[in-house]
Structure 1
């Protein structure tokens, strides 16, 4: 009863991005922030370290799936459950026959990383005896995997027939019961929903989660501000010496930005509330970017692949795609 009263009477003031893109700098107004009151989480509330933020911007907002290889559990996290330190749903899973992180083709290990669910497959396209009622493909190997020279492909989230035990071990896929994958199907938006796989999901306190989120957001806002202010000296310091965004490396990327600085009299960079995922020393930051200058403008989805190097976050790669093409809402058929 005391815990109930505590939750009922306590409120936590949190600051969050509005659904509109925001910008700061000499050429723009104050940040569009709003204050919301939400019930304080219970004393037992825990937050996943691997998910630091889920975007409130409907153009990229989605749920996330967390696969814990040690506990053999798949947790569904949405914006509401994340804010409360709760789990929306949880299911038992099977994983690769061999323990450890996947490093090469046919090693029968389940990879550990931050992946997107790309396509939905179902019989007769795939055999029911192997994949059950449906499967979702992933983008393994992702950029981080390729950088580490990991090989292989065909890592899926799929089901199995009820007669197949979830202790058999897969060839590396994350496996669910038929009924369970049907339950989570409605939570998956193709090319938007992330599947985060780790040896162990770390559940941390609200204070630890806020600190980890603020650390990433502060770095992210500095990167945007340096770019918008055309402070290229500090801007390029956010990039790793191993940065690659073909055809650019770090040196040619800076030269490219210097040419643009000479060409345009101003630059504005507005960003949405981002999705932020962390796994070990890897960070994936995804957001809607609205770029404007006196010579060019565009809107798209940008993804920053960031590594913590010697205690400092550095961009290893960035990708951009037009908003309409990349993140249009897709209905699972």
Structure 2
């Protein structure tokens, strides 16, 4: 009968733990560090803070050769969060480091000759998660910068959610007298194939300006989905994909939500969802307290553009001025001046293209003596990176000598030949 060695037992336990995980570029560790000679029995002190702060502290301890504090931090974290798979991976590395130098996060596991491709992919996901978290910590957002994505709140909008797909980060901004003020931020997961959703089932997260329109609590998910409800963790908050612009571009798909994580998984890899934006359960509950159903915008952008306060004020003024010029041209009954704000790819909410729109507006203006347009409760949000867009939503009060009309309207603007042009106009659905 073969006698299993102590090291083999550790290997079996490690593989079992890792096989429980879905998931996250390798992070190089200096092999000349003196940590290879530290005693495995040396006592250490665990770092304190949030789970993310502690996982980053453990990585810092490993880089500087402080294995005792690294072990203590990881052990304490796993005692509190027994489903934190990245912490298990670091524990595996810390065991393996006692016997051999390692080159990347997770090398302690790969050197145990894991044979299955699925395991290799899971390890790669965990490495990606570690890298994304460390990159964000090493390049923090300066506290005095503001996002170009949030240019104007309505008075009713207390908060806005901004998702930066490039850094796998979700930001919560408060409405501070019309100026965005960062409240906090969290690590998030997006689609397995990244962003830019266009068709049903493409496993991408949509890019655009959306709104939270519903809350699906866990009991309701359990009733609807049974055991599959565990995928959504503590609950889900659907967002309004496809929005009006998405539909005009024939984009398909639905069911894009903010939601939590399965019970057995503390955090998922940066790209692991079917298109939703996913947080840990405790962080999803934290974000939920800032969500106003039907009101809170969720802006998903390829990359956040950060501005100084002076730059932000200038961007805000430019956006508001552009909208004001459009309104003034409409009131002037100067059809050509008014139509100059519409792009060649324009589609109205009723499906009219720019030619049909031009003909209709010329006929309408010819029969009017005067017009007055008032815009209330205006919000302006923007997508930066990739194909930019600006989204203005407002309560419109239109009056003329032969017509009065009030409606909640939305305009989607996109650049064309170096100028902002209206790409879609119509009733605001959400």
What interval of TM-score do these two structures reach, taking the shorter chain for normalisation? 0.7 to 0.9
User: SS of the counterpart of 1:151?
Assistant: coil
Give the drift of 1:301: 1.3
Distance 1:217 1:318, change over 3 A: same
CA displacement 1:88-138 (0-9 Å, x = unmatched): 122222222233433433232222221122221123331441112221112
User: SS of the counterpart of 1:126?
Assistant: helix
CA displacement 1:22-66 (0-9 Å, x = unmatched): xxxxxxxxxxxxxxxxxxxxx95110011122123x4xx342101
Can you give the 5+ residue segments of structure 1 that lack an aligned partner in the other structure? 1-42, 328-333
Distance 2:300 2:293 in 1: 17
TM-score (norm 2): 0.59
Which of the numbers 63, 78, 85 marks the counterpart of 2:159? Answer: 63
Distance 1:304 1:253 in 2: 15
Distance 1:241 1:199 in 2: 25
Map 1:119-138 onto structure 2 (within 5 A): 119-127=214-222, 128-138=229-239
CA contact (8 A) 1:227 1:235 kept: yes
Query: Which has the larger helix fraction?
Result: 2
User: SS of the counterpart of 2:293?
Assistant: coil
CA contact (8 A) 1:45 1:86 kept: no
Can you give the 5+ residue segments of structure 2 that lack an aligned partner in the other structure? 1-141, 223-228
Distance 2:401 2:163 in 1: 46
What is aligned with 2:425?
A: 318
User: SS of the counterpart of 1:264?
Assistant: coil
Distance 1:47 1:115 in 2: 20
Aligned length: 277
Out of 295-304 and 103-112, give the one that drifted further: 103-112
What is aligned with 1:77?
A: 173
Q: What is the CA RMSD across the aligned residues, in angstroms?
A: 2.3
Query: Which has the larger strand fraction?
Result: 1
Give the drift of 1:306: 0.9
1:224 equivalenced with 2:323 (yes/no) = no
Distance 1:149 1:118, change over 3 A: same
Distance 1:174 1:44 in 2: 24
CA contact (8 A) 1:81 1:88 kept: no
What is aligned with 1:256?
A: 360
TM-score (norm 1): 0.76
1:118 equivalenced with 2:221 (yes/no) = no
Which of the numbers 171, 175, 193 marks the counterpart of 2:274? Answer: 171
Distance 2:365 2:359 in 1: 10
| Structure ID, larger Rg | 2
Which of the numbers 165, 170, 193 marks the counterpart of 1:98? Answer: 193
User: SS of the counterpart of 1:300?
Assistant: strand
